[in-house]
Amino acid sequence: MALLNNKTAVITGGNSGIGYATAVDFLAKGAKVLITGRRSDAVQQAVQTLGNQADGFVADQASLSDAKKLADHVRDTYGKIDILFVNAGIGKFGPFSTTTEEDFDKLMNINFKGAFFTIQELLPLINDGGSIILLSSINAYSGMPGAIVYSATKAALNSLGRTLSRELSGRKIRVNIVNPGPIDTPIFEKEGITREVINAGLMAKVIPLGRIGQPEEVANLVSFLASDDASFITGGEYNVDGGFIVHPLIG
Ligand code: NAP
């Protein structure tokens, strides 16, 4: 039997990068998948490519009213779900001294506050015994210069995941956190980090395995944590980073 047969999953930010790769993997393992994203055209295009077990819903993770609309849509369409992968997020980098209130609010509202209230809205729809996975980052721990607010949003997410794993244990809902290192997704180009820089291997030089990761390598871990094979795993944090976090040259 496929690993995720008869399971229904919601993936926030599923139209590209890690969220999209995870949608592909969940579907291949037998799940039904609803992806969200901000851009209607990108969500529609992703759903078309993913095939008929996939569906899409346009929702801005920073908007609490969108989170409520998403919950209404999920209730009306599926009733209940088994897996919630809170993946949507943005990067915005720069030094502490020039970080604006606008930068601060945007990052916090999408990466942390939005994640928090998306879970709150969808929680009543998650079956007992379900699985929540939060997509964080090794930035939650690395102290990397130039990522001061981004890192704080991810550290807050890890704290949320740890607390939720205890609060939801009565319903046997497992909550786990995934901390990727640098992964080859559009997030870099969205932040003006060009393909040339990535291809020049500047990031890869500080990764012990000598390369940046692929979104599918994160998806493999997320699928495992979503599945019943991870039935005794909750409150855990897992790095998928080619050894980056333990490398002495980090930062
Ligand atoms: P990506 O390809 O840019 O994917 C981000 C996804 O999130 C897109 O589908 C994007 O939709 C969506 N999204 C962004 N803001 C949103 C919002 N306000 N509401 C709804 N959806 C929103 O980048 P990615 O690398 O796969 O990022 C996925 C997650 O991994 C993020 O949380 C990121 O922080 C984390 N992460 C990435 C890396 C890395 O090196 N790539 C490392 C560690 C952690 P749009 O396209 O419409 O914006």
**pLDDT per residue as tens digits for the range 69-128:** 999 999 999 999 999 999 999 999 999 999 999 999 999 999 999 999 999 999 999 999
- DSSP per residue over 33-73, as a string? EEEEES-HHHHHHHHHHH-TTEEEEE--TT-HHHHHHHHHH
Catalytic residues: 150
CATH code of 211's domain? 3.40.50.720
Spacing, Cα 14 to ligand 1 middle (Å): 8
For the stretch 11-43, pLDDT in tens is 999 999 999 999 999 999 999 999 999 999 999
What is the average per-residue pLDDT within 148-155?
Answer: 98
The total of structural domains in the chain comes to: 1
88: in domain: yes
Question: Percent of the chain beyond pLDDT 70?
Answer: 94
**What distance in Å separates the CA atoms of residue 166 and residue 113, rounded to the nearest whole number?**
20
pLDDT confidence of residue 176: 98
Q: Quote the ligand 1 centre to 1 CA distance (angstroms).
A: 31
Centroid of ligand 1 to alpha carbon of 17 (angstroms):
7
Q: Range of 85's domain?
A: 8-236
Q: What is the pTM of this model?
A: 0.97
The answer to whether position 144 is within a domain reads yes
pLDDT at 249: 53
In a domain, 231, yes or no: yes
**Residue 111 alpha carbon, nearest atom of ligand 1:** 32
Tell me, yes or no, whether 243 lies in a domain: no
**Is residue 198's pLDDT more than 90?**
no
pLDDT of residue 200: 65
- Evaluate: CB of 13 within 6 angstroms of ligand 1: yes
Question: Does residue 107 lie within any of the structural domains?
Answer: yes
